[in-house]
Chains A and B, each alone.
Chain A
Amino acid sequence: MPTRVSSGGLRLGDTAFRGLAPAYAEAARSLAGRATELYELATGVSSATGEPPVTPLNPQGRVGWDLSGPPWGSALRHNVAWFSGCSADVNLIQPDYDAQPDTWYNKNKPALVKLHFWNRPFDSLSPTAVAPHARLYWVLRSVRITGADTPTATARTWNRRFGQTRETGQTETFTAPASDTQVTGITLWVPAGPGWNTVYLEVTLPTTSASTHQLTSGALQVLSKRGY
């Protein structure tokens, strides 16, 4: 027999406690039990030493809110994974773009970056809501290597974990800039699951383009805190 009570899942509204409302034992149990559950969820430990917690384990398999998104806490915006991180400057010596075949692109060759990354364990939300870590947003930087035009590039992204392909993923267009510039930010997203994911990013240029560009860096980020 546990030494402390849980609420049994019973949550109550004002009507249960109005002046002449009947006093049910469940009301006291709910009040005392929910205080116990809140203590465990906040502190991350069982409310009784040596006994299992009265709350279920979080997505990490631990006790308590871990800020991985509802119902385990409001998520935090941050980078989940990123690639490269170089700079474009004649005074910086780094591997030339030929040595970075994944990241440069022109009308004949797309950039194709594969991001393999660990996503924090999280709970899926209901079919009408998307958990914060279940939808990650790209932000990219790009620079022109040769040529003079600034063509419209198309970015495609897909997650093989969910059976997505190049054709079934999400797309966004941007103007490929001349200087090292942030080119996307809030609209190109990819679905992600808890644990390891393999996300692809492809950037192509139209056949009319006469320039070569390079993705200098990019990141997948959590944008939503409590789901969509």
Chain B
Amino acid sequence: MARKKNASFVPTTPFDVDVDALTLKHTIENAIGNTALVFDMLTGENGEANTIRHIGSGRGCPLGVPLWQQTIGRGLNYRGTGSVKGGVPGAVWLCAHPFFLPEGETIFRVRVRASGPFGALVPTVRVTTTGGTTEAGPVPLIAADPEDEQDAVYECSISGLTTGLHLVFLECNTEGNSTANIDLLSWHGYFWRRRPETSSPARSQSSTVVTLTTPTATQGVAHVDFQDTTFSADAAIDSYQTTYLDRNLNGLAEFGSGWPAGDNATYTHEDHDGAGVADPTDPARSRFHACTRAIYANEPELDFPWVAGAVGAYGIDGLPVIDPGAVAPTAGMLSWFAPYPLTASLLTMLRLPGRAPDFQTGASRLKWAVLAATDLGASATNWRATVDLSVASTSAFGSAFSAGPSVACLTLATGTGLGGWTGDGLHTISIKTDKTTAFAGSYTEFFLLGYCLYWEP
């Protein structure tokens, strides 16, 4: 015997189920086979290779989670007339950081919001590989509708990229515009897709209270398999087949939609605590399609951009936009400048709250990248970046990776398998740096530019 499953979707025509038409066995057989196919694609069970990873092309609708959404709120004003490390205002990266493009996504939009028009500053966006090769741009940002605000909004589209890690740069030439006095308010990479308001949601249109097979304490979607011998030439359709096919359909509808099946008032497959008691916050007991690997060990995992952002501006000529020293500079080109450490010891350069999805933690697919710049001829490989995800600031777990490929003054550190986080948990994302070789006494040689954390199976 073999489990009844269609290798690919087999349609049933409207004529097969028309009023007065005979209900043929293959109609029920194919419905059972199609349902088994969908169950396997969602759960990864029974060796199904084409799992639903939300990467398009028949592998699920891409999620469209924004790539980065950062509110900056810092001034681009010229801070006095004092020293500028680069000598004169010039071309700068207002923002520079890594970002992760999920599989199945090919085009996204970039938005910059400022307190006033950029005017002659004319910002552009450039995307490069992690090795520094330009992949897109420089694309000029075009003034866009600020909607209900008085701020200046600029947008452009970026396309032609492949999935994976990239670097994005918001470039701007400030030469001759040293009196610009606007604030850089926010910086976004997002997918502009929105259904027309008139479309109807895919909810039940039936008043029938439907039945699902009640799962056991550890069971997921409570799917019942059928054997193909059930549909041998002389076999008849029986109520067991139709009843459990119906229940399977109702169960999968609830599993995938996250909504009670039919017009049921409550869920049947509610998350539980392992003893059948409802517990909507325990990711290890999720009964819905969320790629947790809690119930199904082969459940597909998702590409998911978590957080990414810039930390401060830096000169494209390889020099900082302020004259660095042991105190916060009071003069320089920009008040939005890349921060720098005054110690060789491990120092937290940035903290950010982060709520994690309920993905599996056992074999963490969480990756990170940190972009930095070095000055004064410092060797980037003398420095190290560490990303720490303490849970509610109570514990510390980090992994470190030495600085990677160098692009002019830029250097990138990356890491994989980042642990120390919990599914559904709130974390403090800490990005730390230290110098791995002897500190030569030279402050101000290392500047943090940006960061990115993402899940990639």
Contact = CB atoms under 8 A, between A and B. Distances in A.
Decide if A and B are genuine partners: yes
B195 A121 contact: yes
Interface in A97-147: 99-100, 102-103, 113-118, 120-121, 123, 139-141
B293 to A, nearest CB: 14
A98 B341 CA distance: 20
Nearest to B111: A118
A120 B210 CA distance: 31
Contact of A115 (B71, B205, B350): B71
A93 B61 contact: no
A217 B351 contact: yes
A219 B353 contact: yes
Interface residues of B, number: 133
A169 interface: no
Nearest to A184: B353
Could you say which interface size class chain A belongs to?
A: 35 or more
B158 interface: no
A93 B444 CA distance: 9
B280 interface: yes
Contact of B64 (A66, A78, A99): A66
Q: Most A CB atoms within 10 A — which of B42, B347, B350? A: B350
Interface string B305-341: 0110101100000000000111111000001110111
A165 B79 CA distance: 34
Contacts of B267: 226
A5 B13 contact: yes
Contacts of A185: 426
B194 A194 contact: yes
A219 B354 contact: yes
B339 to A, nearest CB: 4
Interface stretch (B171-179, B241-249, B363-371): B241-249
Given A10-B208, A38-B249, A47-B9, A93 B324 contact: yes
Given A82-B353, A116-B186, A9 B11 contact: no
Given A82-B71, A225-B258, A39 B351 contact: no
Interface string A10-25: 1111101111010101
Interface string A42-80: 111101100000011111111111111111111111111
Interface in A206-228: 216-219, 221-223, 225-226
A17 B352 contact: no
Interface stretch (B87-95, B123-131, B133-141, B282-290): B282-290
Nearest to A27: B242
Interface in B12-45: 12-14, 16-21, 23, 27-28, 30-31, 34-35, 37-38, 41-42
Interface string B249-289: 11011001111011100010000000000001000001011
A67 B54 contact: yes
Contact of B190 (A30, A76, A118, A223): A118
Contacts of A100: 73-74
A62 B193 contact: yes
A5 B343 CA distance: 68
Q: Most B CB atoms within 10 A — which of A19, A23, A59, A94? A: A94
A92 to B, nearest CB: 6
Contacts of B340: 92-93
B63 interface: yes
Does more than half of chain A's interface fall in helix, strand or loop, or is it mixed? loop
A70 B243 contact: no
Nearest to B14: A5
Contacts of B204: 9, 11
B353 A182 contact: yes
A69 B203 CA distance: 12
A44 B59 contact: yes
A156 interface: no
Given A59-B195, A73-B256, A76-B290, A121 B69 contact: no
B122 interface: no
A18 to B, nearest CB: 6
A27 B237 CA distance: 13
A102 B239 contact: no
B271 to A, nearest CB: 8
Contact of B290 (A5, A25, A225): A225
B38 A1 contact: no
B353 A78 contact: no
Nearest to A124: B201
A87 B350 contact: yes
A121 B38 contact: no
Contacts of A166: none
B211 A13 contact: yes
B70 A83 contact: yes
Given A5-B17, A31-B249, 8 more contacts: A5-B11, A31-B242, A36-B11, A44-B54, A61-B193, A66-B54, A78-B306, A92-B339
3 A-B pairs with least C-beta separation: A9-B205, A4-B11, A74-B258
9 contacts: A17-B239, A25-B23, A66-B54, A82-B71, A87-B348, A92-B349, A115-B71, A182-B426, A195-B194
Interface of B: 9, 11-14, 16-21, 23, 27-28, 30-31, 34-35, 37-38, 41-42, 52, 54, 56-66, 69-75, 79, 111, 113, 147-149, 151, 185-186, 188, 190-191, 193-196, 199-206, 208-211, 239, 242-243, 245-247, 249-250, 252-253, 256-259, 261-263, 267, 280, 286, 288-290, 304, 306-307, 309, 311-312, 324-329, 335-337, 339-343, 345, 347-358, 392-393, 424, 426, 428, 430, 444
